[in-house]
Amino acid sequence: MIRLATLACALTLAVAALPALAQPQKFDKPEDAVKFRQATLKELQKNFKRVADMASGRDDFDAKGADESATRVAELIKQPWPAFGPGTEGGKARPEVWTEQAKFQDLAGKAQGEMLKLAAAARTGSLDAIKAAMGPAGASCKACHDSFRAR
């Protein structure tokens, strides 16, 4: 009973904190936006790679570690998009980010959806479920990079 009450309390606190995490970032200078999105996407890539390495057999499977990393990916994938606002051109982003906003936002939305699916798969603790979610998740990243990331 105590364990259930502790879990309920932790869940309540986590849900209460979500609105603060969802607040859009404010940037004083365009270069601050570039730095923020690059740092966020770099951390996302690090966590995604950790799960991908387990799914591919390059690293030993650790259900808890996969869950933690996939959950972090699902959190991070929501954060960089406000940092691609008008006047924030530069970094590794192609100019098409700002001239093809509808396509960019569509691909960003698809990536968010696939990362949520990956996190849900990782929560199951099933390596097979994670493997099944990795392909579409990776493809969603690639689609955006192919169109909008400078080489």
pLDDT in tens, 28-81: 899 999 999 999 999 999 999 999 999 999 999 999 999 999 999 999 999 999
The predicted model scores a pTM of 0.81
Please give the pLDDT value at position 9.
38
Percent of the chain with pLDDT over 90: 81
Q: Which two tokens stand for residue 54?
A: 């387990």
pLDDT category of residue 17 using cuts at 50, 70 and 90: very low
Is the pLDDT higher at 135 or at 5?
Answer: 135
Q: What is the mean pLDDT of residues 73-99?
A: 96
pLDDT at 15: 40
C-alpha 3/C-alpha 130 separation (Å) is 28
